[in-house]
Amino acid sequence: MASMIWQIISDGVGEDKYIPPMTTQLLGKVNIPITLAPMVGISHVAVRLMLREYLPEGAVTLWPTEMLNSRKIPKQDLTENPLSLRGEEETELSPQILGNEEIPIKESVACLKDWGAESIDINMGCPVNKALRHNYGVSLMGDIGYARDVVAMTVKHTDLPVSVKIRAGFQKDRDFLKRFVLALQDGGASWLTLHPRLASEKRRGRADWSQIQFIKEILDIPVIGNGDVQNCTDVFEMLEQTGCDMVMVGRALTARPWLLWQVGASLGFEPPPGRRSDELPRTPEMEAIEYGRSLMTLLKYTKQYYEERLGLVRLKFYVKTSNVWLNFGHSLFTQTRVCKTYDDFENTIKKFFESNSLAMTQKTDLRE
Ligand SMILES: Cc1cc2nc3c(=O)[nH]c(=O)nc-3n(C[C@H](O)[C@H](O)[C@H](O)COP(=O)(O)O)c2cc1C
């Protein structure tokens, strides 16, 4: 049983590594140290359901949504809104909200609980101008007391765990970061996720993992590390180097959805249900084939949940984000970009994966 061997994992070459057991504090049931990052345009129902097909048997993790605006949530039908569509079978949903005002937050968390949320994540990392103008997202990192109050007011209005996703802040200032994360913990946050880049860096430069280690050593609550993880080795390196409880993966999980399976296999989990007789994709060629297969699965779920126009926008954006690990990936992107129908998209994917000699790389330049 995977949970029995959770603390000791093998890196596949006979060395055992120690993994802290804090993950189970996440909802009391999370048992695998990898989760998808909230991403606008990407962390939607079709992607989540496709990724779930790669989750090992018995593994439990958190599932984000796209960022949801707390001023809009109370006025929307969450079961109809494209940003918050969910599958009946989806559990461990951890929607991310953007906001800073008590009434909208109070109403939003109530709506989200009815919708099926098992925890609420507050965005304090979004660096886009709109978030800065409205004083939410990473703006909240400009005022420690205010950020703490936003957490406390959210906690006050829900019995769900409340987590916060942050960046490294506005300037390289470890003392500030220390005071900031302690204030969030004091405000009642159940765990924090750190994407260790400054607000001004957006997604440029390199994520500074040492800051994850820094806050992990300070805090009593679990810490999820995030930033520039590209493959299974990176997942375990981040766990080991920083001591974080879990690794959140954004862009690379779109390219390598089977990272969930690879991490699970390293921990002794059984393969995903439905993949018992399949070999885990490991080689560059096997990974390329699996990428094509995952796009077909994504298409299936996109068709199920989205009308064609919006579905295609989402599929194209997904290919734009995920193609960079594949040789000839840019060609795939330019071919899918002009697709006008779901059938076009399907034929393009089939043809592309039949007619090219494809391989996926372990690491690529992660550009903006
Ligand atoms: C297309 C895209 C959309 C994103 N949207 C959000 C968001 O809505 N909320 C958030 O907290 N972070 C968002 N992020 C940041 C990611 O959650 C993550 O912190 C970042 O991509 C670094 O992780 P990675 O290197 O594993 O991709 C977004 C990133 C991308 C690429």
pLDDT, tens digit, 9 for 90 and up, residues 294-346 = 999 999 999 999 999 999 999 999 999 999 999 999 999 999 999 999 999 99
Residue 283 in tokens:
């080689």
Q: How many other β-carbons are positioned within 10 Å of the β-carbon of residue 338? A: 9
**So what's the pLDDT on residue 13?**
44
Which protein residue's CA is at the shortest distance from atom 7 of ligand 1? 39
pLDDT of 22 > 70? The answer is: no
Place 4 in a pLDDT band, splitting at 50, 70 and 90: very low
Q: Is the CB of 259 under 6 A from ligand 1?
A: no
Mean pLDDT of the chain: 91
Measure the CA–CA gap between 207 and 227, rounded to whole angstroms.
Answer: 5
Helices (H) and strands (E) in the chain — how many of each?
13, 10
- Burial per residue of 313-330, b for 16 or more beta-carbon CB atoms within 10 angstroms, e otherwise: ebbbbbbbbbbbbbeebe
Place 201 in a pLDDT band, splitting at 50, 70 and 90: confident
Minimum mean pLDDT among 81-85, 125-129, 187-191: which range?
A: 125-129
Which protein residue's CA is at the shortest distance from atom 13 of ligand 1? 39
* pTM, entire model: 0.94
pLDDT of 65 > 50? The answer is: yes
pLDDT of 271 > 70? The answer is: yes
Please name every residue paired with 16 in a beta bridge, in sequence order, or none if there are none. Answer: 10
Which protein residue's CA is at the shortest distance from atom 14 of ligand 1? 39
In contact, 96 and 109? CB cutoff 8 Å: no
pLDDT of 6 > 80? The answer is: no
Minimum mean pLDDT among 8-12, 33-37, 248-252, 314-318: which range?
A: 8-12
- Phi first, then psi, for residue 324 (nearest 5°) are -70, -10
Q: Is the CB of 317 under 6 A from ligand 1?
A: no
Distance of CA 47 to the CA centre of its chain: 11
Return the active site residues: 126
Pocket test for ligand 1, best of 195, 204, 313, 317 (most atoms within 8 A of CB): 195
pLDDT of 132 > 90? The answer is: no
Q: The domain 2-267 is classified under which CATH number: 3.40.30.10, 3.20.20.70, 3.40.50.1000, 2.40.10.10?
A: 3.20.20.70
Q: Is the CB of 235 under 6 A from ligand 1?
A: no
pLDDT higher at 288 or 9: 288
Query: Within the chain, which residue ranges are assigned CATH 1.20.225?
Result: 284-355
Q: Tell me how far the alpha carbon of residue 320 lies from the centroid of ligand 1, in angstroms.
A: 14
Q: Is the CB of 87 under 6 A from ligand 1?
A: no
Place 256 in a pLDDT band, splitting at 50, 70 and 90: very high
- The mean per-residue pLDDT over the stretch 235-263 comes to 97
- Phi first, then psi, for residue 316 (nearest 5°) are -65, -40
Which protein residue's CA is at the shortest distance from atom 19 of ligand 1? 195
Question: Please, which residues have CB within 8 angstroms of residue 336's CB and are 6 or more apart in sequence?
Answer: 315, 316, 319, 345, 348, 349
Q: Tell me how far the alpha carbon of residue 75 lies from the centroid of ligand 1, in angstroms.
A: 26
What CATH architecture does domain 284-355 belong to?
Up-down Bundle (1.20)
Please name every residue paired with 167 in a beta bridge, in sequence order, or none if there are none. Answer: 195
Secondary element (H or E) of residue 249: strand 246-249
- The mean per-residue pLDDT over the stretch 127-145 comes to 79
Packing angle of the helix pair 284-305, 45-52 (nearest 10 deg):
130
Query: Within the chain, which residue ranges are assigned CATH 3.20.20.70?
Result: 2-267
